[in-house]
Amino acid sequence: MSNNASDPGEGHSPAAWTAVVIMLVAITTGTLFFALDMPVLVWASVVVLVLGPVVGYIMAKAGWGVNGPKYTPKAHH
């Protein structure tokens, strides 16, 4: 890992984690609803899946991204 101050990191921020968790929940529930033959809820899961990156982008712009003022990186040991 680089010690360069301009290194954007690997997405270890609240914005990135929130986006990933939203998308994982959407994929998991969409798969379950597909297996249970519930097409309306499958499509609702697709909508939630698309909202994941949008929420992450909004949170990053609000300061919760890697270089945002509200995010303080944790030291890795």
- 18-68 pLDDT, tens per residue? 999 999 999 999 999 999 999 999 999 999 999 999 999 999 999 988 888
Q: Which long-range contacts (CB under 8 A, 24 or more apart) does 44-49 make?
A: 48/22, 49/22, 49/23
- Residue 71 near residue 61 (C-beta atoms within 8 A): no
- Residue 71 near residue 65 (C-beta atoms within 8 A): yes
Question: What is the band of 1 on the pLDDT scale with cuts at 50, 70, 90?
Answer: very low
- 50-62 pLDDT, tens per residue? 999 999 999 999 9
